[in-house]
A = this chain, B = another copy of it.
Amino acid sequence: MARKAKNVLFIMFDQLRWDYLSCYGHPHMDTPNIDRLASMGVRFNRAYVQSTICGSSRMCAYTGRYVHSHGVGFNNAPLKVGELTMGDHLRDVGAECWLIGKTHMSADKAGMERFGMDAEDVIGARVAECGFDVWERDDGLWAEGPSGPYDERRSPYNEYLKSKGYQGDNPWHDYANSAAGDDGKLLSGWFLENSGKPAHVHEEDSETPWLTDRAIEFADAKRDGAPWVCHVSYIKPHWPYIVPAPYNDMYGEEHIIPVKRSEAERADANPVFAGFQEKMVGRTFAREDVRREVIPAYMGLIKQCDDQMGRLFKHLEDAGAMEETMIVLTSDHGDYLGDHWLGEKELFHDQSVRVPMIIYDPSEEADATRGTVSDELVEMIDLPATFIDLQGARAPDEWLEGRSLLPLLRGERPDEWREFAVSEYDYSTSKVAKALDMHPKDARLFMIVDKRWKFMHAEGGFPPMLFDLEADPDEYEDLGRSDAHSEILDLMYDRLAKWARRCAQRTTMKDERLIAAREGGGPASRGVFIGINAEEDIPHEFSTAYRGPVRPLPERS
């Protein structure tokens, strides 16, 4: 290799379910480009996100910290001023950190104002943009309703479409996310019955190719100079579930994997699970006619993503950049698609909390692991530590709660890897919280998963949920109320308790400094003597002549 790879393309898809890639075993999807990346790198088979919704999962990925540490438990909750992200840490060690696409990060405007930060200057801009330098930010949801737009930023994608001659205020909706009806009326992609129709946009102008173009521009522009991490963050296959031709028509009913749900799940549901089943999206996705429209479109969106990966990887290869670029490919969470009587994400079945995670490391040290599958428990919060490790720097242990994956990529089996992964969801703004009458401080869920068991604790006095992933890999049978499993439940509660007590906020002191402090003279080295009876009891090195001459007292005026 020309030089040691330090650049990273950190590719994130949105709502890409772990099992909708051929390399992860989908029987009908064919994703050769992503599969090829897996053949060149390591495919992690137990990768879990730390929160099961876009914004929160991403804040974990970017900060390298749990929701319980940074506080962003749901979409559009601002990330507090003071939390640092991979961008801050990478710049500290000499690398750049760029964003192309979505972060779903809300700036803490009140905090910025309190601290006099200006989003127009570089410090404020980074605080406002989650620590990234922005190549192109587009969060990809350009909806508008009676209360105004969902996202008040400018949309580079809408600007692009307009520049290409697409008409109207919101071509994102009217073209890229709608179909053309026979009667001359738009059929909006918001409505699931329209999912199977082709989006009314030239395929090459749709969102996934557009963002890939931006990534290619970036890679070309940044061949030399400081090392960088570039977060290439796609909105798709996230809803609206609609895709341009030919992708809308590639999959049919025969390619839909059967729904995974049981009547017992409804009949005897944990109250929190029951609450989520009641949501509109769960009831809608319980309909087979809906699934028949949506799932082929979702698969088409993924197929388009794979094709764009092919384009991107070929471009890198042609440019000779493949040997100097680590490529991470993952997703921020999955999609229930009707499984377990749910739609969307939020709860912790594998459909939602487990994600694809493929890492290609071009370095020679990683040759031994190419094409292998790792069964270690990997958390999305491991990425910042991995990227810093790749720079040859030490990860800031006072901030990061994840671990570098480089040892796993390079065939080193660390002495001890984590025994369980954690995820969280804060549903305090949801109607489920209202229905369950939960205080906002209590409307929070925690998941612990190991290689055998998955456990969910809901704050507020509910029973836990528990699944035996060996005996019941599809997670049908909730053992959370089973007396026969009290030992496992106790173990899970112990793990959750120890995790919750962890030292996550001592962010102004590095561990090594604390250890070093044990060695010195402590306060004595600065003349503070605690528990010393007489001067002769001071160790010699700290003695500084405390018996000076007595000087007279001044007159008191």
Binding site for B on A (CB under 8 A): 68-73, 77-84, 88, 108, 110-111, 114-117, 121, 123, 127, 141, 143-150, 164-168, 174-175, 178, 180-181, 184-188, 190-193, 200-202, 204-205, 239, 279-285, 287, 290, 343-344, 426, 428-431, 433-434, 439-441, 443-444, 446, 459, 493, 496-498, 500-509, 511, 514-515, 517-535, 537, 541-542, 544, 546-551, 553-557
Q: Once bound together, how far apart are the Cα atoms of A78 and B145, in whole Å? A: 45
Q: How far is the CA of A531 from the CA of B184 in the complex (A)?
A: 25
B553 with A200: CB separation less than 8 A:
yes
Check A496 against B506 for contact (C-beta < 8 Å). Answer: no
Give Cα A108 to B167, complex, Å. 52
CA distance in complex: A525, B506 (Å): 40
For the complex with contacts A141-B528, A175-B553, 19 further pairs of A-B residues with Cβ separation under 8 Å are A72-B508, A77-B509, A82-B83, A149-B527, A166-B554, A168-B548, A181-B550, A184-B550, A186-B549, A190-B527, A190-B546, A191-B546, A193-B534, A204-B556, A279-B531, A284-B531, A428-B511, A440-B503, A497-B500
Residues of B within 8 A of A509 (CB): 77-78
Q: Which residues of B contact A202 (CB under 8 A)?
A: 553, 556
Q: How far is the CB of A485 from chain B (nearest CB, A)?
A: 18
Residues on B with C-beta less than 8 A from A123 are: 114-116
Q: A522 — which chain B residues lie within 8 A by C-beta? A: 429, 431
Give the complex CA separation of A121 and B117 in angstroms: 13
From known contacts A144-B527, A186-B546, infer whether A533 and B501 are also in contact, taking CB-CB under 8 Å.
no
How far does the Cβ of A197 sit from chain B's closest Cβ, in whole Å?
12
Contact A544 B284 (CB under 8 A): no
Contact of A185 among B285, B439, B441, B549 (CB under 8 A): B549
Given A188-B535, A531-B343, A553-B200, A508:B110 Cβ within 8 A: yes
In the complex, chain B residues whose CB is within 8 Å of the CB of A508: 71-72, 77-80, 108, 110-111
A532 engages B186 (CB within 8 Å): no
CA–CA, A20 and B509, complex, Å? 35
Q: Tell whether, in the assembled complex, residue B532 and residue A190 are in contact, meaning their CB atoms are under 8 Å apart.
A: yes
A180 to B, closest residue via Cβ: B550
Contact status of A185 and B547, CB under 8 A, knowing A70-B505, A523-B150:
yes
Whole-angstrom distance between the Cβ of A423 and the nearest chain B Cβ = 14
Chain B residue numbers with a CB within 8 Å of A501 are 68, 444, 446, 459, 496-497, 500
Are B146 and A542 neighbours in the complex by a CB distance under 8 Å?
A: yes
Instruction: Indicate if the CB atoms of A187 and B547 lie closer than 8 Å.
Output: yes
Contacts of A526 in B (CB 8 A): 143-145, 147-150
Contacts of A444 in B (CB 8 A): 501, 503
In contact, B530 and A280 (Cβ under 8 angstroms): yes
Contact B523 A344 (CB under 8 A): no
Which of A282, A505, A511, A547 has the largest count of B CB atoms less than 10 A from its CB?
A: A505
Report the minimum CB–CB distance from A462 to chain B (whole Å).
13
In the complex formed, the residue of B with least CB distance to A78 is B508
CB pair B533–A147 under 8 Å, yes or no, is no
- Chain B residues contacting A446 (CB-CB under 8 Å) are 501
Q: Name the B residues within 8 Å of A149 (CB-CB).
A: 526-527
Asked if A186 and B548 sit within 8 Å, CB to CB, the answer is yes
Whole-angstrom distance between the Cβ of A199 and the nearest chain B Cβ: 11
Query: What residues on B are CB-neighbors of A531 within 8 Å?
Result: 192, 279-285, 343-344
Contact for A532 among B72, B192, B507, CB less than 8 A: B192
Chain B residue contacts of A439, Cβ below 8 A? 511
Of A82, A178, A504, most B-chain CB atoms within 10 Å = A82
A147 to B516, alpha carbons, bound, how many Å? 14
Alpha-carbon distance A525/B430, docked complex (angstroms) = 14
Q: Which residue of B lies closest to A397 (CB)?
A: B441
Assuming the contacts A150-B528, A500-B497, A528-B141, asked whether A77 and B551 have C-beta atoms less than 8 A apart, the reply is: no
Q: Which residues of B contact A519 (CB under 8 A)?
A: 434
The residue that A503 contacts in the complex, of B81, B115, B441, B537, with Cβ under 8 A, is B441
Q: Judging by beta carbons under 8 Å apart, are A525 and B114 in contact?
A: no
| Chain B contacts for A502, CB-based, 8 A | 441
Is B147 a contact of A521 with CB atoms below 8 Å?
A: yes
A544 to B556, CA, bound (A): 83
A506 to B527, CA, bound (A): 41
Q: A88-B114, A515-B440 are in contact. Are A542 and B188 (CB under 8 A)?
A: no
Q: Contact check, A429 vs B518: say whether CB atoms are below 8 A apart.
A: yes
Task: Check A344 against B530 for contact (C-beta < 8 Å).
Answer: yes
Q: Which residue of B has the minimal Cβ distance to A444?
A: B503
Q: Give the chain B neighbours of A70 by CB distance below 8 A.
A: 505
**Distance A444 CA – B459 CA, assembled complex (angstroms):** 25
27 A-B pairs, CB-CB below 8 angstroms?
A70-B505, A72-B508, A81-B82, A82-B83, A108-B508, A114-B123, A145-B542, A146-B541, A149-B526, A164-B556, A165-B555, A166-B553, A166-B554, A168-B551, A186-B546, A186-B549, A190-B527, A192-B531, A193-B533, A202-B556, A204-B556, A281-B531, A343-B531, A429-B514, A429-B518, A434-B519, A500-B501
With a cutoff of 8 Å between Cβ atoms, the chain B residues found around residue A542 in the complex are 145-146
Which residue of B is nearest A506, CB measured? Answer: B71
The CA of A528 and the CA of B145, in the complex, are separated in Å by 8
| A186 pairs with B550, CB closer than 8 A | yes
From A116, A123, A204, A431, name the one whose CB has the most chain B CB atoms within 10 angstroms. A116
